[in-house]
Structure 1
Amino acid sequence: MKTTKCFSLLLILLYLLSGCSDDDDYSDVDGLPPTISLASSTIQTEPGREFLIEAKIEDKDGLRSINLKNAAFQLDKTIDLTLDSIVYSFDLSYKFKTAKTLEGDNFPLEITTTDLGGRTTTETITVTMDGDFTSPVFTLAPDNDITVLLKSETRLNIKFTVEDDKALSIVYINIPELDYSQEVTTFTNSGKALVYDDPLTLPSKLATYNLEIRAVDKAGHETVKNSIITVSEMPDFPKMYLADVATVEELNSDVFGVPMRIERTAAYEYKANYYNEKAGTEIFFLPQKSDFTPICFGLDPVDNTKLTDDPSIAQPIVLTQANVYYEITFNVQTAAYNIKTYSIADAIDPVPHKFGSVSLDTWGDGGSWLQEFYFGYMTSSPKEVVKFKQDATNPHLYSLSAPLALEAGEKMNFIIHNWHSDGWWNYCTWRVDDSDEPETFGYYGNFKNPLWTKPNTTLDNWAKPTVKQTGSYKLYFDAHLGRGKLVRE
């Protein structure tokens, strides 16, 4: 009896020394709860953005699990660490994306870890929605090259608008050759925007100046805009544009296409072809895209048979006929111009087949394959073409029925292409002259209307413009002109 009691006491003592465990292979080493070393106790993000939760978690007895929890995020994630061998140290690196509709400024996110002995430790990270990840954006900015005509009084308006999604800190404006240096620290729209307009008198001599505008936000992100200002006699502009809008804001609120690029036909000579939907449309011609200054070609108020380049007196050219194409030729040296019209029926485009028809000579061998022929906006595959709507009055004119929801900073990637159930087949398609700043759409298709004599473009450029302002945009395309525009609704 005495021997039995001693044996029982020995078993109890051995059990207590070995520790308690749910696992046959487990025994306490130090009996202490696990440790959590946070990479940071605060994470800055914003609604709809992915963020990273990082921490080093250790326990000498072995880790069982890690739980991440926040009710507002609908986050309750448990990571099981007992699936393989015993884990004594774990580098937590967990990505999580909040909902765009999330409301609130800061949120406690709990990290709770449990060891194999059942002991727990909890640390809290504060997740705030005040993160700044975006650089300032120039929604209106001078062109890369600015020409100022030499006058008895030579003037240039330095004009731009810069915005930041959170808050601007400082904006620098410098023209070193003129000792022109400005720093702006006062902003509108709760510190998010600057509208700058400074009329500057330049020396009346041939010269070249460098303009730099540098915008910095509160987080230190910066955006720089550089322009070369050339004071000269009337130059032979390599590019010219037709503006059919009334304000500088409208010139700059598009993704591309406004103002519309026109054709340079010879030295100092230009030709504009334009479809006029409504009588009374007013137009000007501009050698710069972003402003009506410093040069704007319009009717001379003293002599309407000529054009003037002075934006302070230029009057609009008024297009009086609706639903016709206009052709306007002009010479910037002589100021002479000529206007004529031609009908929609006389306009030709390269489209090889009736839009919306169901009989198509697929391989050009006289056969037919029944499918609906159409083309439209394509971002990935011809199987996923978003169909254009053809205008009821002008069959050369197409548009997307539904607007595109685009975000500031988004880089697009698209072409205009025919639909085909088999995938790639360039029956009827267009590419652009410049991916980053598309101005013209060249026909790239294998088949085309035999009356269309212009050669196909050899540039296989997808349109990849960057969106400046978040908004809803409508895409329009004129197959006769080879011109498209993406403008805010």
Structure 2
Amino acid sequence: MRTRFLKVSLLCVLFATGVFVTGCSDDNKYADVDGEAPVAVLKADHIQSGAGHDFTIEGTLTDADGISAIKLECADLYLNKTIDLIDIYGAPQTSYDLSYKFSLAKDEVGEQFTVKVTVIDVGGRETSQDVLITMDGDFENPVFAVAPEDGSLVAMLLRDGSVDPYDMQLQLTDDRALKSLYLDIEGAAGYEDVVIDIDSVPSFTYTWKIELPAEKKDYPATIVVTDYAEKTDTVRCTISVTDVVDFEKMYLADVATDAELNSDVFGVPMLVNHVGEYQYEALYYNAKSGTEIYFLPQNTSFSPICYGLDPANNERLTDNPSLAEPIVLDQANVYYKIDFNILEKTYSMSVYSLEEAQDPWDPTVLTYGEKCFDLWGDGSEYINFTFGLTSDNPTGVKSFIQDETNPHLFYSEPMELASGEQMNFIIHNYHTSEWWNMVRWCSNTETDLDVFNYYTQSGSQNDKYTGPKTGNDVWSKPTVTVGGTYRFYFDSHLGRAKLVKE
């Protein structure tokens, strides 16, 4: 009996041992090739990111025995990820290109984190590396907050055989730090390939004093700002020494400084109508008596050309910014019509009433704020006629507030906009569910917001309306240069809008 017991016991031990060995064999069924730990070559051991942004850990992982898994761990980010290669591919991999993206929360407040990357082969051997994640990433290009418009013509006028110097105002901003400003005027001695070093500041203002010979000539100009991430913004324009130019665009400025011209997202100064050679027509709502205006062919500065009253003869205009006096509008709550000719330096003014001003919709059918949509077609429920900005559909329309004095003037509630944010909107009527296009306005292009044209393929049309119209369905996509609190203003009679700081 004793002998038999020993035999049974031995069999049990062998059985148990056999089960253990088999188990190990199943877990380690891949034979060692070199028995070495995995090799991990990561692209970077320091990655710059930021709250609300992603970071990606990349690298090439190799192991002759075969990689079974990769672990990525960071307790502070609640990151605990295992990439099981055998589960994914059905077999270990001798080479693997790692590319793991992780999204940081928008409200993340930490300044830096360490992600541990561990590579495990089929023999259980491990290689670990740490990747430092810091929250100082540079995600935005630097921008010109103030500069000539890209592609524009900047005219330096010949006056009595001479040309006045031009002080080009430049203001640059970046979400991190600016590095340099490059300036170039081809063919102008002393103005070619100029580099201004900037001492790692997020905002920089520079006045470029330009003096050119008094002879007719066009000079291609290039201005480039660069930040420390080597991101850039470029403006190209033509500086023309010339006599009178029939400018394609002319603007009405009802502000007094360059800073005010450039504090908006769009709409300041206001584009006027180019109605003939050297001839322009400005329509403007004057809310208060004593408003002072000028006319500018460039939209970012009162220099080098500014049309205002000639101090020697107030019945004529001058184009010299150092002499020009403001045109004063002395009647309140009326629309002004100002015709002017920049070749002859003449102008004339007249006014018309708020009642005479026309909107695109039929006023006998639609009244702002009053019911117009019979929702079910049975008179049981109506939707009021309002309109405003929407980024998706009529359900999301943020209806404007109508001005108490001028029924053609509307404005939005204040809105918070971030630096670098690209907007996306049209002006459309509110509706609870459908694209019922009773009224709709679109800009000229996604980024040219000088005029908001009434979309004539939608809704009822007032035949008397002579304002800007279009058949093109365009969504406006301006980019905010400087973050802050803004308010949107819209004149439905003029088809003009502006987005300005509160």
**TM class, shorter-chain normalised?**
0.7 to 0.9
Residue 248 of structure 1 aligns with which residue?
258
Residue 140 of structure 1: how far off its partner (Å): 0.8
Question: C-alpha distance in 2, partners of 1:485/1:258?
Answer: 6
Residue 480 of structure 2 aligns with which residue?
467
Which letter maps to 1:150?
Answer: L
**Is the contact made by 1:297 and 1:310 (CA closer than 8 Å) also made in structure 2?**
yes
Residue 108 of structure 1 aligns with which residue?
114
Which letter maps to 2:221?
Answer: L
Q: Identical aligned pairs, as a percentage? A: 42
Question: C-alpha distance in 2, partners of 1:156/1:305?
Answer: 27
Residue 473 of structure 1: how far off its partner (Å): 2.2
TM-score normalised according to structure 2 size: 0.86
**Is the contact made by 1:19 and 1:28 (CA closer than 8 Å) also made in structure 2?**
no
Residue 204 of structure 1 aligns with which residue?
214
CA deviation vs aligned residue, 1:53-108 (integer Å, no higher than 9, x gap): 23456778887765433244343445566767754236543221223443454321
User: Does residue 268 of structure 2 align to residue 264 of structure 1?
Assistant: no
Specify whether residues 79 and 350 from structure 1 end up closer, same or farther in structure 2 by C-alpha distance, changes over 3 A only.
Answer: same
Residue from 70, 73, 77 that aligns with 2:77? 73
**Is the contact made by 2:417 and 2:480 (CA closer than 8 Å) also made in structure 1?**
no
1:249 partner SS: helix
1:369-384 to structure 2, matched below 5 A, reads: 370-384=382-396
User: Does residue 166 of structure 2 align to residue 153 of structure 1?
Assistant: no
Question: C-alpha distance in 1, partners of 2:8/2:141?
Answer: 81
CA deviation vs aligned residue, 1:3-35 (integer Å, no higher than 9, x gap): 6677567657756765637xx665474487766
Residue 231 of structure 2 aligns with which residue?
221
1:43-442 to structure 2, matched below 5 A, reads: 43-55=47-59, 66-79=70-83, 86-89=90-93, 91-112=97-118, 122-143=128-149, 144-151=152-159, 152-154=161-163, 155-179=165-189, 180-181=191-192, 183-187=194-198, 190-352=200-362, 353-360=366-373, 370-408=382-420, 410-442=421-453
Which letter maps to 2:155?
Answer: T
Specify whether residues 59 and 313 from structure 1 end up closer, same or farther in structure 2 by C-alpha distance, changes over 3 A only.
Answer: same
**Is the contact made by 2:395 and 2:430 (CA closer than 8 Å) also made in structure 1?**
yes
Question: C-alpha distance in 1, partners of 2:197/2:43?
Answer: 36
1:383 partner SS: helix
1:304 partner SS: strand
Question: C-alpha distance in 1, partners of 2:16/2:141?
Answer: 68
CA deviation vs aligned residue, 1:406-453 (integer Å, no higher than 9, x gap): 431x33322111123342232211122232221111111331234325
Which letter maps to 1:153?
Answer: S
Question: C-alpha distance in 2, partners of 1:99/1:355?
Answer: 42
**Is the contact made by 2:286 and 2:331 (CA closer than 8 Å) also made in structure 1?**
yes
Specify whether residues 359 and 7 from structure 1 end up closer, same or farther in structure 2 by C-alpha distance, changes over 3 A only.
Answer: closer
Question: C-alpha distance in 2, partners of 1:443/1:279?
Answer: 30
Residue 297 of structure 1: how far off its partner (Å): 0.6
Question: C-alpha distance in 2, partners of 1:483/1:98?
Answer: 40
Please identify, of 266-275 and 467-476, the stretch whose mean Cα deviation from structure 2 is larger: 467-476
Specify whether residues 458 and 15 from structure 1 end up closer, same or farther in structure 2 by C-alpha distance, changes over 3 A only.
Answer: closer
Question: C-alpha distance in 1, partners of 2:242/2:336?
Answer: 31
Specify whether residues 40 and 199 from structure 1 end up closer, same or farther in structure 2 by C-alpha distance, changes over 3 A only.
Answer: closer
Question: C-alpha distance in 1, partners of 2:37/2:20?
Answer: 19
Question: C-alpha distance in 2, partners of 1:374/1:451?
Answer: 21
**Is the contact made by 2:467 and 2:494 (CA closer than 8 Å) also made in structure 1?**
no
TM-score normalised according to structure 1 size: 0.88
Please identify, of 115-124 and 457-466, the stretch whose mean Cα deviation from structure 2 is larger: 115-124
Which letter maps to 1:262?
Answer: V
Specify whether residues 56 and 238 from structure 1 end up closer, same or farther in structure 2 by C-alpha distance, changes over 3 A only.
Answer: closer
CA deviation vs aligned residue, 1:104-141 (integer Å, no higher than 9, x gap): 54321123466777776543211122333332211111
Residue from 35, 42, 45 that aligns with 2:46? 42
Which letter maps to 2:399?
Answer: K
Residue 387 of structure 1: how far off its partner (Å): 1.2
Please identify, of 107-116 and 457-466, the stretch whose mean Cα deviation from structure 2 is larger: 107-116
Question: C-alpha distance in 2, partners of 1:133/1:257?
Answer: 27
Which letter maps to 2:51?
Answer: P
**Is the contact made by 2:262 and 2:300 (CA closer than 8 Å) also made in structure 1?**
yes
CA deviation vs aligned residue, 1:238-270 (integer Å, no higher than 9, x gap): 221001112212212222111100112222221
CA deviation vs aligned residue, 1:216-240 (integer Å, no higher than 9, x gap): 2222222221111122221222221
Question: C-alpha distance in 1, partners of 2:243/2:53?
Answer: 52
Specify whether residues 5 and 429 from structure 1 end up closer, same or farther in structure 2 by C-alpha distance, changes over 3 A only.
Answer: closer
CA deviation vs aligned residue, 1:357-402 (integer Å, no higher than 9, x gap): 1134799x99997221111112222222221111111110111113
Which letter maps to 1:223?
Answer: D
| Structure 1 segments unaligned to the other structure (5+ residues) | none
What is the number of residues matched between the two proteins?
A: 484
2:222 partner SS: strand
Please identify, of 267-276 and 414-423, the stretch whose mean Cα deviation from structure 2 is larger: 414-423
Which letter maps to 1:285?
Answer: F
1:94 partner SS: strand
Please identify, of 310-319 and 264-273, the stretch whose mean Cα deviation from structure 2 is larger: 264-273
Specify whether residues 362 and 338 from structure 1 end up closer, same or farther in structure 2 by C-alpha distance, changes over 3 A only.
Answer: farther
2:427 partner SS: strand
1:150 partner SS: strand
The RMSD of aligned alpha carbons is: 3.3
Question: C-alpha distance in 1, partners of 2:62/2:217?
Answer: 69
